[in-house]
Structure 1
């Protein structure tokens, strides 16, 4: 099942595969697997992702602009090229004090007990 319009084995310019929409959050899934997802997200100024607690680790990398990533009430300002790991089971949200684009990678494997 194909979950993206991106062609395999071909380079892509990630900031060009998704566009800003005024007053909106836009997301495009690049890879969707049972072990995790990779999504490109464009967030317009003044918008935010809802505060949540994920059962999985999430890696966010900013690819354009600046973002405020709040993890357990601690604010982190990330600029293009920077990334942060949001640990599983922590309260988090992402705010756009200016518009930005990011890659969100959720890792759903590796939590099995040994």
Structure 2
């Protein structure tokens, strides 16, 4: 991991690294690691073992998923979408969605909350 040379001039440190290395697969499990947590949104990395998933649910704001490794089936509003490495999809607010690992996969989930005046 490297550090931005301008760290001394900023109040926040910036680092660079490989997202795939920040979350590890675990047998029979879904692993998550929150990378950014702000009032305005979050960025979370997930690693799903094969056949693992998240049951159908909704979120009150849009969520963007980017598959980093492997293959996933993401169902949005009852419509399944098969995604592989480097594919991304938007899960709209308040629309039921579910995720399942066709083969083990890693993803980045970006959730942005709307500002309320």
The two structures have a TM-score, normalised by structure 2, of: 0.86
C-alpha separation between the residues in 2 aligned to 1:91 and 1:76? 13
Q: Where does structure 2 lack aligned partners over 5 or more consecutive residues?
A: 4-12
User: Unaligned stretches of 5+ in structure 1?
Assistant: 1-6
Which position in structure 1 is the counterpart of 2:35? 30
Find out whether 1:18 has 2:26 as its counterpart. no
Residue correspondences, number? 106
Q: Distance in 1 between matches of 2:114 and 2:58?
A: 17
Residue 73 of structure 1, aligned match among 78, 97, 109: 78
Distance 2:72 2:51 in 1: 11
Displacement after TM superposition at 1:66 (Å)? 1.0
Structure with higher Rg: it is: 2
For 2:112 and 2:16, the matched residues in 1 are separated by 23
What do you get for the CA RMSD once the two structures are aligned? 1.3
Large movers: runs of 4+ above 3 Å: none
Structure 1 position 86 matched with structure 2 position 95? no
Does the alignment pair 1:50 with 2:51?
no
Pair 1:62-2:56 in alignment: no
CA distance in 2, matches of 1:26, 1:9: 24
Deviations 1:72-100 (Å, cap 9, x if unpaired)?
Answer: 01000111101000000100011001100
Instruction: Select which of 82, 101, 105 maps to 2:106.
Output: 101
Structure 1: how far apart are the matches of 2:59 and 2:14?
31
Higher strand residue share: 2
